[in-house]
Structures are given as structure tokens and as C-alpha cells.
Structure 1
């Protein structure tokens, strides 16, 4: 029996993961903004489900809840950073408050959970952190700029953390689900649309989402099962891409970035310090 700590368990992957873990006999420390949402699971599974209210944007509360979970449960084997906030609008349309909320929840909140749990995992000499990101942590779509900013940021953070904590027996895996029918789209925050963007890619994606034409090709239950499976691997990957769109879109984005990177190789090397001075007076000449 393992003990899991999961944020954002009221719905979506967090709720499904909690249900599957309890069914197989594990213990779950489930955190969410509205604890009553898990009353049905508490009635069914008793003390194998530990529930606490948690707003991940409150750093002091994050530390307090994690310390309480360890004190009561004794250990945490797997920590799942799943709580998130989705903002769907063009760059100009978002309010300052919306920008702050997406960064505070998806980036800073996830960072604070990891910071608070690491002393406990270090002390026990083991543990696995699953950071729920998205295909949008490696590629981008119009109207999701601030969401992408938070996810690209947390992926860079987690990649660094993984290298730092590996000597302590702690693994880190960034989970990258593609578009999936979890209800996340129904909870997206939006802003008043600007007519200037109607005839742009932002307008096209807005209309596709409004008409339910935005594809959701992935099975949420299989995604959760893949998350359960990766924890059992002897050598879990740093990134776990999950979904048809993740496989295709992220691969295409990485290939395009690599091609552009290689195309600028001559310029990149031109700026290096050469003992005898620059090889050429103009970077554009070096790149031709």
C-alpha cells in the first residue's frame, strides 16, 4: 500500500486518480478548495482517504497542510501536483488579476508544493513527484498564452529539480496530457473578446471551442492508468507524453525548434570569443 498526496482532487484527473487509488487499496491525502466534494469517497473508504482544504496560492497553507499530512500518515510515497487554473483569451484581453491567478496557481503554487514536500521526501530517502503539465508545456495554441507561460515555466523548474534531488532517491516526472474530456474546458476562465482578434488565429480557436469543434481525442481513464504505471517503473522518465495530440504536436514543435536552432548555428558560433579575434565582421555573413 502506497500513500499519495494529490492536489486538485475535486474533478478531472485528480478525482479519477483518487478513485482508482482507493479502489486498489492505497491511501490518499486529497486536497482541494471544497472538501465536501469528496464526502462520498470518505463515506466509502474511511480513513484511507485523508482530506484537507488547500489553496495552492497560499504558501503558508501549503506548508501547513503537507506537514499535517506527513504527521498523520507517517509517509508520502507519491506527490501529484494537479491543481490548476485555465485562462482562455488573447494576450491583450486578460486582466491583471487573471494573469496573476494563472501564474500563482499553475507555476508558483506548484513550486511551493514541491518546496514544502522535499524536506520530507529527503528525510525518508525516497519519493516520486508527478507534475501534471500538458502538451502545452512544450508547444502552444492561440488564446492560451498565459496558461502556456505557467506550464513552460513549471516544466523548466521541474527539470532542474529532478537533477537536484536524484541523489536523494527522489524521482520527478512531468506528465503531459493532451486534450481530454475531463471538464477542464468547461471551467476555463475567459475575458471579454476584442473584435480586432476575430479574423486572427485567436478568433478561429475561440470559435472552435465555442462550437465544440475542438478535438478531445484522449481517454481520461487511460491517462490516469498511465500515471499509475509510471510510478511503478524502476527508471521513470522525466517527461511522460500522454495523448495523440501530445505525441504529434509536441514532436512537430520540437522538430521545428531544432530545425530553427540548427539554421542559426553559424550565428551562434560566430559570437564566441576567438583567440585571434572575430572570424568575420558580420554575423549575417557567418550565417549565409
Structure 2
């Protein structure tokens, strides 16, 4: 039976790849993007299997209108892919206030608004899947991506809570974490005036690696799109899906290091309890 998808950020990258594949296998797609003309070739090919709407996820009213209209037009939506994103490549001191607001408004608040707009519909139909696109940078950190990380760590924390709250309604939520992949996203990263003070730091090293092409992009975007589709087809709903050897290795190393540091503070953590702590009911 065909699956119906709602996908944000479909003009390029993973959103575009999914929008190319899904109608070709008979699924229906509600594709949202900043410029609907970017998908006219696919609409001409797939007709009613592709529903298009303009959407800027930083516009809350527009988010609710697009989601409501998609459910009204298509009746049922099985999978919501929260994919729209914006990237800033700069050290934490170099980025502008406007860039910081935009990355937060798009990646964090925009993603939250899409999920919130979809939930009443998904609850009413008593089933559905939400796929929140994040990155390895939702659990670990790389120089020059501090504000992207702030938004991705934030949306991952939100999704951990949301997944527990919506599970009783038959709604699954998975955070998808692709690693470094040649999707064109890197070329769309906004930069800021470089501060020479950071040239000899890790921020400068990463900047040179990207500028010279030495920054490794080991993953195949086609395989990542296929893995996302396979996950939905399987019916499984893990909280996270790491995609890429870099994601797997870097996140694992980060988790191991964080756990080791966490455990090193056990004695001081327990030392601040009341003399008679009673039952612990911390979340």
C-alpha cells in the first residue's frame, strides 16, 4: 500500500532525493520548499502523487497552513520528515547576531513548529511517523559549527521528550543523523568575516580543510536516502538512526568520553545530597 509523506526542505539535499524516489515507487509526497518552481520537473512527471507548497519554517503561521492544507488535500499523512535546515560556518565569536537567530529559528524553532503543527492530525488518525533530520553534530561537536550544534542538540533534546509523550498515540519519532555527505549543503553554508586570531586554532584548521577540499565527505547521499526509506518500510521506530561511519565513530567516541567524565564526578555529585535524602524521584 502506498505511503504518504510530508517533507520540508525539498529543493535540494536529502529532501530532494526523497522527493525524487518516493513518487517513483508509487508513494504520495507533500513536498514543501522555499521556491515551488524548483520541483516543477518532478510535478510534471508524477502529477497527483506530488503535492507542492511554499514553506518558510521560520513563519509559524505558514507552517500551520501548509501542514493543515497537506492533510486536507491528501487525507492521511503517514510520515513527516522534518528536514529543512540552515547552516553557519564560523567560530562562535565570528558569527553575526542575525546568523545566530536564523540558524536557531530554522533548525530548532522551525523544526519544533512543524512537529507541533503535525501532531493534532497524527493523533487524530492514531498512527504516523516523524523523522527529524539532525546530524552527527546533534550529539558531538566540530569547530566552526557551534551554532549549528546549538540548534541540533536542542532539537534532539526536544525530540527525546516528544517521542515519549506521543508514543501512546501510535506515533513514532526517529532522529536521523547523517554524517558528512556531498549533498551541496556545504556550499550553502553561510560564513562570516574571519578573525585572524583563530587561524592557528582548531577552527582555522577545519576552515582550511574545507577550503582546500581536504575535509572528508565519506557518505553516499543516495544510500542515506535509501536507508531512510528502508527504515520506514521496516516499521521500526528507533529513537536515533546514525548514518555514516563518521557519525557512528564520532558520536560513539563522544558518548564514551562523556560517560567517563560523568563517572569521574560521582563522589562529588552524591556529596551534595541532604543527610537524609529519602527516595530519589529525579527525572
Q: Report the Cα distance in structure 1 between the residues aligned to 2:273 and 2:241, rounded to whole angstroms.
A: 36
User: SS of 1:240's equivalent?
Assistant: strand
Specify the alignment match of 1:163 in structure 2. 164
Specify the alignment match of 2:227 in structure 1. 226
Matches within 5 A, 1:48-87: 48-87=49-88
Q: TM-score when scaled to structure 1?
A: 0.95
Q: Report the Cα distance in structure 2 between the residues aligned to 1:50 and 1:154, rounded to whole angstroms.
A: 27
Q: Report the Cα distance in structure 1 between the residues aligned to 2:143 and 2:276, rounded to whole angstroms.
A: 46
Deviation track 1:24-65 (CA, whole Å, cap 9, x = no partner) reads 110000000010000000000001100000000000000001
Deviates more, 1:177-186 or 1:232-241: 232-241
Specify the alignment match of 1:285 in structure 2. none
Specify the alignment match of 2:182 in structure 1. 181
Q: Report the Cα distance in structure 2 between the residues aligned to 1:98 and 1:163, rounded to whole angstroms.
A: 32
Does 1:94 pair with 2:95? yes
Q: CA deviation at 1:108?
A: 0.1
Q: CA deviation at 1:240?
A: 0.1
Q: CA deviation at 1:275?
A: 2.3
Count of aligned pairs between the two proteins: 276
Deviation track 1:44-88 (CA, whole Å, cap 9, x = no partner) reads 000110000000000000000100001111011000000000100
Which structure's CA Rg is the greater one?
1
Does 1:208 pair with 2:209? yes
Q: CA deviation at 1:274?
A: 1.7
Specify the alignment match of 1:23 in structure 2. 24
User: SS of 1:75's equivalent?
Assistant: coil
Q: Report the Cα distance in structure 1 between the residues aligned to 2:44 and 2:123, rounded to whole angstroms.
A: 33
Q: TM-score when scaled to structure 2?
A: 0.96
Specify the alignment match of 1:263 in structure 2. 264
Specify the alignment match of 1:5 in structure 2. 6
Q: Report the Cα distance in structure 1 between the residues aligned to 2:42 and 2:173, rounded to whole angstroms.
A: 28
Does 1:145 pair with 2:177? no
Specify the alignment match of 1:40 in structure 2. 41
Q: CA deviation at 1:22?
A: 1.0
Q: CA deviation at 1:234?
A: 3.6
Q: CA deviation at 1:229?
A: 1.2
Q: Report the Cα distance in structure 2 between the residues aligned to 1:12 and 1:61, rounded to whole angstroms.
A: 22
Q: Report the Cα distance in structure 1 between the residues aligned to 2:276 and 2:249, rounded to whole angstroms.
A: 44
Q: Report the Cα distance in structure 2 between the residues aligned to 1:233 and 1:167, rounded to whole angstroms.
A: 20
Any gaps of 5 or more consecutive residues in structure 2? Answer: 278-283
Runs of at least 4 residues off by over 4 Å: none
Q: Report the Cα distance in structure 1 between the residues aligned to 2:209 and 2:236, rounded to whole angstroms.
A: 40
User: SS of 1:241's equivalent?
Assistant: strand
